[in-house]
Chains A and B, each alone.
Chain A
Amino acid sequence: MQRYILGRIVQSIVSVFVVSVVVFALVRFSGDPIQIMMPAEATQKDVELMRAALGLDRPWAVQYWRFLTHAVQGDFGRSVRFRRPAMDLIAERYAATLELGGLAVLIVIAVALPVGVYSAVRRGSGLDYAARAFAALGQAVPPFWLGLVLVLIFGVLLHLLPTSGRGTPLHVLLPGITLGWFAVAGLMRLTRSAMLDVLGSEYVKLARIKGLPERQVIWKHAFKNAALPVVTFAALLFVALLNGSIIVETVFGWPGLGLLVIEAVDSRDYPIVQAVVLCLSTMYIGVNLLVDILYAYLNPKIRYSR
């Protein structure tokens, strides 16, 4: 068990290291950053001075080390566009992304778990078919397009909800629903199949023979055991939300990290792109690690075998 966790931690550190190298290398070898920073009339001497001042004349390994040590302290340089430290911008924007992600998680749990359990318990019923059709549809609808359809229906046709920006609590509804949609489909399918497995087991039969009320059999005996594979899904959920937030924030003009990075791509604002990609990747790798450790604790098969 300790060995397993230690191995996963080392692997996560290597992953973060790989991302940092990729982030550094792609941007550094894509062209001379000095050319972007200096005005066109700068002399050769000015360019050399600037290069030396920024340490860009040093060997690339030294440059990488410098980048890494600064990054660890939260220093990614100044945004070319906003003329402010990249980290300040991230600090300003991350709350918006968390708000959106939080609502999406709530929607996912509130919809997917009960529907998944119900459609397993009432297998073959109308609701089961409806839920499975919804899941198949949910995985085929492109997220950016769903967002636009919701804008068209609730914003343009019905004038019910605001469709862009952030402000009142109503603003978060449409982006939250769009972001939650996909994860709902996946989690629902997973809950359903996990519940079906468990419902066929001996101990559920025993619980029924004992004469326990059906509600107790389902939630206390079956669901608790079905929850194990569902925990793994937490990592996938995070992936879906991370990928989705970039898309959904772009559609709804939601001022979070996703919109920040897409705007930065447009204006070739390297420090911002580097900072956001590295921060989000680290979070992503960290969540994956936590879920694996949690899973190892919950699952006796892993706990004792390693």
Chain B
Amino acid sequence: MSPAEAAAATETPVLPRALDRRWPPSVPLVIVALLVLCGVLAPLLAPHSPVEGSLGERLIPPLGMEGSKASHPLGTDRLGRDTLSRLLYGARISLSVSVVGIALTGALGSLIGLIAGFFGGWVDTLLMRIVDISLSLPGILIAVLLSVVFEPSFTNVIIVVVFLLWPSYARLVRGETLGLKQHEFVALARVAGCSDLTIMFRHIVPNLLPSILVLATLHVGYVIVLEAALSFLGVGIPPPTPSWGVMVADGRGLIEQAWWVSILPGIAILVTVLSLNILGDWVRDRLDPKLRQV
């Protein structure tokens, strides 16, 4: 056996593509990339206005069914609004809620966790008690309450997202900070004369980022379903804004005559969330396998 052959023999066997964890799963990745593109380019891609319809073109079925029109490939709803255009703009809503919501909650929750873990003592005890209490409050009821007091709005949805998710960031970051604090580089930074703030943000935070990123990607799908559910109940994004949840609610009473009005946006949610969850699992396995729970 030549040296080259020997080297080849001892090399790790090539895994089938599906089991090779170095690359993200391609189908979900493409779906999510397309979705982001649709959301960003919605005004260019959408053939019609997402909020204005023509009453003469109400409840046109999607292509392939009797009475469909080429100008409305996915049909129209009861106000004659184009389903495809609304779906494209809906991707925008879902994406902006998840990006804004998760960025805010990640920043807030992580900051609280960082403070609790870094300073310890009574600060830690107090903050973690607040986390426990926050976890024990039912989120959807808080959403209902918010919407009856203030009008349903984008801001309400973001408040609910932050309220529901910040404790998980606080817990995660606190745990990691407790561990990082013991490392030598923290002691050395202190010897070098760094202040608490410098140590926290220059030395500890960069080490926390992978875990925070993993948690954030795992949350995207959850936030999209949450927004859709709140909007469906009428306590989230208010109509006529084309949130996917609002669209499903619009089609509720029409399920007998016009199934596509509510079924199509549901499929959009399902495919999006499934892809995001698969990608989230991949990011977790790649960056931080110890977060794997079940």
Cβ–Cβ contact B221 & A140, under 8 A: yes
Instruction: Please tell me which stretch of B79-87, B132-140, B181-189 contacts chain A, meaning at least 4 of its Cβ atoms lie within 8 angstroms of it.
Output: B132-140
Partner of A190, one of B136, B137, B256, B294: B294
Which residues in window 110-152 of B have CB below 8 A to A?
A: 129, 132-133, 136-142, 144-150
Q: Which residues of A contact B147 (CB under 8 A)?
A: 265
Find the B residue at minimum CB distance from A144: B232
Q: Which residues of B contact A11 (CB under 8 A)?
A: 129, 132-133, 136
Q: Which residues of A contact B142 (CB under 8 A)?
A: 22, 277
Bound: A304/B186 CA distance, A: 35
Q: A142-B228, A145-B248, A251-B252 known; A277 and B269 CB under 8 Å?
A: no
Cβ–Cβ contact B234 & A277, under 8 A: no
Cβ–Cβ contact A193 & B269, under 8 A: no
Partner of A15, one of B136, B228, B249, B256: B136
Partner of A262, one of B233, B248, B262: B233
- Tell yes or no: B255 within 8 A of A by CB: yes
Bound: A193/B133 CA distance, A: 29
Partner of A193, one of B252, B259, B294: B294
Q: Which residues of B contact A276 (CB under 8 A)?
A: 141
- Tell yes or no: A214 within 8 A of B by CB: no
Cβ–Cβ contact A30 & B233, under 8 A: no
Find the A residue at minimum CB distance from B277: A140
Q: A140-B221, A141-B270, A143-B229 known; A264 and B148 CB under 8 Å?
A: yes
- Tell yes or no: B266 within 8 A of A by CB: yes
- Tell yes or no: B235 within 8 A of A by CB: yes
Find the A residue at minimum CB distance from B139: A243
Write the A20-60 contact mask toward B (1 if CB under 8 angstroms, else 0): 00110011011000000000000000000000000000000
* Count class of interface residues, chain B: 35 or more
Cβ–Cβ contact A288 & B136, under 8 A: yes
Which residues in window 74-94 of B have CB below 8 A to A?
A: none
- Tell yes or no: B99 within 8 A of A by CB: no
Q: Which residues of B contact A23 (CB under 8 A)?
A: 145
Bound: A216/B69 CA distance, A: 63
Q: A140-B277, A243-B138 known; A145 and B266 CB under 8 Å?
A: yes
Most buried by B among A23, A145, A242: A145
Cβ–Cβ contact B263 & A152, under 8 A: yes
Secondary structure class of chain A's binding surface, majority of residues: helix
Q: Which residues of B contact A262 (CB under 8 A)?
A: 144, 233-235
Find the A residue at minimum CB distance from B275: A140
Q: Which residues of A contact B145 (CB under 8 A)?
A: 22-23, 26-27, 273, 277
Bound: A208/B274 CA distance, A: 39
Write the B211-245 contact mask toward A (1 if CB under 8 angstroms, else 0): 00000000001000100110011110000000001
Distance between A258 CB and nearest chain B CB, rounded to angstroms: 9
- Tell yes or no: A246 within 8 A of B by CB: yes
Partner of A247, one of B138, B229, B262, B270: B229
Cβ–Cβ contact A18 & B133, under 8 A: yes
Q: Which residues of B contact A270 (CB under 8 A)?
A: 148
Cβ–Cβ contact B133 & A277, under 8 A: no
- Tell yes or no: B165 within 8 A of A by CB: no
Q: Which residues of A contact B252 (CB under 8 A)?
A: 148, 251
Q: Which residues of B contact A288 (CB under 8 A)?
A: 136
- Tell yes or no: B102 within 8 A of A by CB: no
Write the B10-27 contact mask toward A (1 if CB under 8 angstroms, else 0): 000000000000000000
Q: Which residues of B contact A280 (CB under 8 A)?
A: 138, 141
Cβ–Cβ contact B148 & A156, under 8 A: no
Find the B residue at minimum CB distance from A264: B148
Distance between B220 CB and nearest chain A CB, rounded to angstroms: 12
Cβ–Cβ contact A142 & B144, under 8 A: no
Cβ–Cβ contact A145 & B137, under 8 A: no
Cβ–Cβ contact B138 & A268, under 8 A: no
Q: Which residues of B contact A202 (CB under 8 A)?
A: none
Cβ–Cβ contact B266 & A149, under 8 A: yes
- Tell yes or no: B172 within 8 A of A by CB: no
Distance between B235 CB and nearest chain A CB, rounded to angstroms: 6
Cβ–Cβ contact A142 & B225, under 8 A: yes
Q: Which residues of B contact A14 (CB under 8 A)?
A: 129, 133
Cβ–Cβ contact B148 & A142, under 8 A: no
Cβ–Cβ contact A140 & B235, under 8 A: no
Cβ–Cβ contact A19 & B137, under 8 A: yes
Distance between B159 CB and nearest chain A CB, rounded to angstroms: 11
- Tell yes or no: B273 within 8 A of A by CB: yes
Q: Told that A14-B133, A148-B248, A280-B141 touch, could you supply 8 new A-B pairs with CB distance under 8 A? A: A139-B277, A144-B228, A242-B138, A261-B141, A262-B234, A265-B235, A266-B234, A285-B137
**A-B residue pairs in contact (CB < 8 Å), sample of 6:** A142-B229, A144-B233, A144-B245, A193-B294, A242-B138, A281-B141
User: Which 6 A/B pairs are nearest by Cβ-Cβ distance?
Assistant: A145-B266, A30-B149, A140-B274, A140-B273, A193-B294, A15-B136
